[in-house]
Structure 1
């Protein structure tokens, strides 16, 4: 499959200065939480943590940032792509994009109706060259997209996942897996019923399951794309809510799917219409302009990110690279009608 020009945009853009605040692990969770609350991301320095230490560092940071009691989320329990697990709740980030291609900017699980509020990354081994973690400002993205932001607010986004069938497409090897495993049944009517009840995926309308090409099946659902987040000043005083675009458009679109054969992922406007080429180009350009930071993590570095404020991506790399990730529990994003009801 052809991969559109994000690669050239990603590697030719001017690298952003590292604006991410840095604290040392010895300074405690309050220091990390303060930076996370005021900026939306924090880099925690220290020795390579164990999986449990990584979990505690991330959770204590977002809890100290004003979310007490917010626990660890289970990525594979709800998502449509299964990531390899390094330990309970800790996932290998290498799933998906090969090393020589970038990971397109996205907010973690933005394709769901309920989205993780925070995500964390840890570097256990840095690549020989490249592999920088990039963070993109979703509020700036909403501004850069101009009229397309209004269209996103009106229509939302529809996401598609193709899965295999244990009988009719048993050779399906993509990480979306088999529909029988996804829904825990071999009954097609029961699987369709369960999809329609999946509020985590598509809200009250749930998702729709249907037959697809070469014996596969396709699952699709529609979610909002524009949310409101409370921006916080350095003094931790709440400012006016800001409009942010929370999306997984570019890493889901069929034109950028990795591998050969039937594309396993796709995204469209919420009314089912395909993105026009100029719209895709506008998305790519706006995302590039929303780049906030590009930083190559060192071994032991832990980054905790406000997943609603910043999308993340990765540049191509060479040599072994081992990074892991985790997510917080999920919340329904704040759409305009909800925001207006609160003011």
Structure 2
């Protein structure tokens, strides 16, 4: 008979993270089996939970734990960063160079169906750096200037992506297919305009919302990729080079007002300040598991010195139709915001 697991919980980082530990280093799968609903409730309540001191050894352990908490892991579709799938539903957190910071963002908020929960499994922490960056998107929503929030809440924003050889992901990598017709069908089903500007140059344009309402708590949250995908989030020298070469509509990713006009510098600075002003560092140690409510908390990564091994699973698919009030479930500019599942 499996021994009952005792939980010790503590509020951390101003209440954004719930720390969870247990005496005796029990198995992670046993924790999920005995206390799955409790752990999930703490994630919703705080925004994130950091589990420390639990044993896990292989992919089956991670898969079983995720299923105990929220259900089967999801695939990674309409990709925006390089990742390696290590096991069905388990990916490297990112293959982005370790010397580069990954700016705060909410996972796949530019998709019509988004992952509700993120599970970060730390197999090996970095000898230096590599903190997980977190920021409370509910607090960001409340702290941003009201005129900025109101405009983007009402209008949404425009995301333009260019898939070019040698610059970021190819369209084949992003959409997981070599077939242009499959890309066209996916885009048609997901409110995306797609255009082949050359044989290997594909441009997509999609209108997306910037503000969501949490389906459980009813709290509004700043839930978008508008700042992450904006040219201002690139290193200054790189941004200047790309903009000079390709223009604002031709670089790999950029965001605009819903009418296609460029976002002014003062708004860009306010958005960056909103994220940076709420940024907190979480240091995941070897064996730790960080669970994030993707609707409530943005995540990123500080630069680090290798080696570092961090895996991610995404779970509980949620349609944008669930994230807006009933009368506002259409995409900005018209069109359905996804299935209502």
CA 1:250–1:78 in 2, change beyond 3 Å: closer, same or farther?
A: same
Q: Please give the alpha-carbon distance, in whole angstroms, between the structure 2 residues aligned to 1:79 and 1:329.
A: 18
Aligned to 1:121: 120
Please say if 1:105 is aligned against 2:104.
Answer: yes
Contact 2:15 2:46 in 1 (8 A): no
Task: Give the alignment's Cα RMSD to 1 decimal.
Answer: 3.0
Contact 1:138 1:244 in 2 (8 A): yes
| TM-score, structure 2 normalization | 0.76
CA distances 1:180-220 after superposition (whole Å, capped 9, x unpaired)? 9756535xxx4675255222xxxxxx211124489512111
3-state SS of paired residue (2:227) = helix
Q: Please give the alpha-carbon distance, in whole angstroms, between the structure 1 residues aligned to 2:63 and 2:183.
A: 36
Contact 1:105 1:248 in 2 (8 A): no
Please say if 1:321 is aligned against 2:308.
Answer: yes
Aligned to 1:71: 72
| TM-score, structure 1 normalization | 0.75
CA 1:18–1:322 in 2, change beyond 3 Å: closer, same or farther?
A: farther
Please say if 1:194 is aligned against 2:185.
Answer: yes
Q: 1:174 aligns with which of 145, 165, 168?
A: 168
Report the alpha carbon displacement of residue 141 of structure 1 after superposing the two structures with TM: 0.9
Unaligned 5+ segments in structure 2 are 1-11, 22-27, 330-341
Please say if 1:158 is aligned against 2:158.
Answer: yes
Contact 2:136 2:297 in 1 (8 A): yes
Q: Please give the alpha-carbon distance, in whole angstroms, between the structure 1 residues aligned to 2:327 and 2:35.
A: 30
Report the alpha carbon displacement of residue 340 of structure 1 after superposing the two structures with TM: 8.4
Aligned to 1:248: 225
3-state SS of paired residue (1:208) = strand
Contact 2:121 2:287 in 1 (8 A): yes
Contact 1:158 1:223 in 2 (8 A): yes
Q: Please give the alpha-carbon distance, in whole angstroms, between the structure 1 residues aligned to 2:311 and 2:261.
A: 35
Aligned to 1:142: 141
Q: Please give the alpha-carbon distance, in whole angstroms, between the structure 1 residues aligned to 2:272 and 2:68.
A: 34
Q: Please give the alpha-carbon distance, in whole angstroms, between the structure 2 residues aligned to 1:294 and 1:18.
A: 13
Aligned to 2:25: none
Aligned to 1:236: none
Looking at both structures, which has the greater relative contact order when contacts are Cα pairs under 8 Å and sequence separation is at least 6? 1
Aligned to 2:265: 277
Aligned to 1:37: 44
Please say if 1:23 is aligned against 2:20.
Answer: yes
Unaligned 5+ segments in structure 1 are 1-14, 64-69, 165-170, 200-205, 233-240
